[in-house]
Structure 1
């Protein structure tokens, strides 16, 4: 029976992929430095404790593996500095080198839409690179490492998802959902009439699975089934939550400049990727994934937001604490905590 390795399988995206593979009857191995979020899965998967920067441990995890989904990454909110390059570039190289040596049939590399913030919409796979911020720059370099190993004969697919939402999503969205659940106002940069596409974590997992089974090397830009303007999608969630929260527009230039200063002073959890892009259009058309993989997303922005919000509310009622990597951890709100008190 083939073995599928998921690096970072304890993380937000990684564990969603692990659950999907298990449901499909795949034999799954997980490599991570954090424990699995659901203890029952230790009976369903093989767990290898190890750091992606440990070449020997990575090679051990790749031994006997047929296919790999590589999800380990330092994300924007981690503000990881030099670690962005270490993990997102050199860690990716370690996985690909081990895959090549172990004659792995296929690697699926989870990249990010942040490498292609071009201003053109919809963005397709062949559009130019334009990374925003140190996170995106490191992910671009990770993609270039993938291309290097494709030239060496390794089958590698690169998947660039839009912002992923789903059960257990924390990070920036934890702040967002907390404010809504408490009836606080939600602030956006500009008028909110721009179109921003999200992606449900289950749809990401299904695309990764189909990609695993496809021979050759490809790039897939993927996003939600449908979406309206940011204001309309957020208003739909506020109407659903019924807590009295309202959307407040902030002046674009003043807000961006203020957030830049707060970011440099380490007084805000928001990274450049958040405050430099979320007031502009950014979406994909999913055509490449549809044509090559037969993939179609099941959920749109509104549904993905509601699923993620419901999960937050349920976790809050149960008193569950966050765990694991950045997108599953509560963030310190910094200056935003002051804004919250007057909202």
Structure 2
């Protein structure tokens, strides 16, 4: 009853609530009858029309971030600067300083729950990760600023856990589904441009998570803050590792595109990535390099994770399977083309 009463008299704040995962989360909260505040840079008139309180601001505006925390009971911190390339300071400003501002605002205004969207790449160690669990240490050496800064942010979120502000970090891996603006569109664009190659032998297994399952996990994590989840991180996936290049080729073939058959060794891809990084850094290019050392490793190595902790502590059980989600995605792309 106390939890219900708090929800009736306060807001739930979603940072990045106009993004792929954030919007799904906002829609689910509205369906539950929750009052929602969104902090983001892109206005969403459709959400405003449904009663969402929108604060147009960036995470690097501490005053706006603090104001957004007023009369809030739960924060879902989904927003981040993502990408595999860019200036470290830009990632640090949003992912670390922005998260610190949100923690400070939560403490100042008496926010009770803090659900942080992290990433499995916070445990990047340059090696294959098979059935990896949460005992892995956070990375301190990665050739990409995104995992480095997200690792710092996750560490600080979990360190902030207390009886007054209960925190949890979720690590969803490769979020995808209908409406995905990042993962699948990038695969299709590169394939159609003839710029996609199988890195390594093409047998690496990778975990992914459908956006609806990732949304479930966030809502479950909020409820589990009354129990063992407080102060802990959790990997979140579909629990069905796929052979990455088989899945990509299945998708391409179903959409009438030729499958990827050309290979490049991991060593060659890493060397090309290092060269690209040097050129982009020296020439101060703002675009993303076609290859980096981090991308090469991600495309060639195993990345799949143990869901034991999430199942035990959160009650997490993926509802939408890889097969069902893939079929839905293929049908959607075909409808768009038609």
Specify if TM > 0.5. yes
Q: Which SS does the other structure have where 1:31 is aligned?
A: strand
Does the CA contact (< 8 Å) of 2:16 and 2:79 recur in 1?
Answer: yes
Give the Cα–Cα distance (whole angstroms) in 1 for the partners of residues 219 and 105 of structure 2.
21
Give the Cα–Cα distance (whole angstroms) in 2 for the partners of residues 120 and 185 of structure 1.
26
Report the counterpart of residue 124 of structure 2 in structure 1: 117
Higher relative contact order (CA 8 A, sep 6+): 1
| TM-fit CA distance, 1:292 | 1.2
Q: Are 2:202 and 1:192 aligned?
A: yes
Report the counterpart of residue 280 of structure 1 in structure 2: 301
Report the counterpart of residue 76 of structure 1 in structure 2: 83
Give the Cα–Cα distance (whole angstroms) in 2 for the partners of residues 179 and 120 of structure 1.
25
Does the CA contact (< 8 Å) of 1:233 and 1:301 recur in 2?
Answer: no
Q: Which SS does the other structure have where 1:150 is aligned?
A: coil
Report the counterpart of residue 175 of structure 1 in structure 2: 186
Aligned length: 314
Q: Where do 5+ consecutive residues of structure 1 fail to align?
A: 318-343
| TM-fit CA distance, 1:146 | 1.0
Out of 165, 188, 191, the residue aligned to residue 176 of structure 2 is 165
Report the counterpart of residue 253 of structure 1 in structure 2: 267
Does the CA contact (< 8 Å) of 2:22 and 2:78 recur in 1?
Answer: yes
Task: Output one character per residue of 1:212-237: Cα deviation in whole Å (capped at 9) or x when no partner.
Answer: 12223332111113133123222322
* Cα RMSD for the two superposed structures: 2.4
Q: Are 2:233 and 1:227 aligned?
A: no
TM-score, with normalisation over the residues of structure 1? 0.83
Q: Are 2:67 and 1:57 aligned?
A: no
Q: Which SS does the other structure have where 1:283 is aligned?
A: strand
TM-score, with normalisation over the residues of structure 2? 0.84
Report the counterpart of residue 324 of structure 1 in structure 2: none
Report the counterpart of residue 113 of structure 2 in structure 1: 106
- Does 261-270 or 275-284 show the bigger shift? 261-270
Give the Cα–Cα distance (whole angstroms) in 2 for the partners of residues 141 and 297 of structure 1.
28
Does the CA contact (< 8 Å) of 2:118 and 2:170 recur in 1?
Answer: yes
Give the Cα–Cα distance (whole angstroms) in 1 for the partners of residues 296 and 21 of structure 2.
23
Report the counterpart of residue 333 of structure 1 in structure 2: none
| TM-fit CA distance, 1:42 | 1.5
Q: Where do 5+ consecutive residues of structure 2 fail to align?
A: 1-7, 281-287
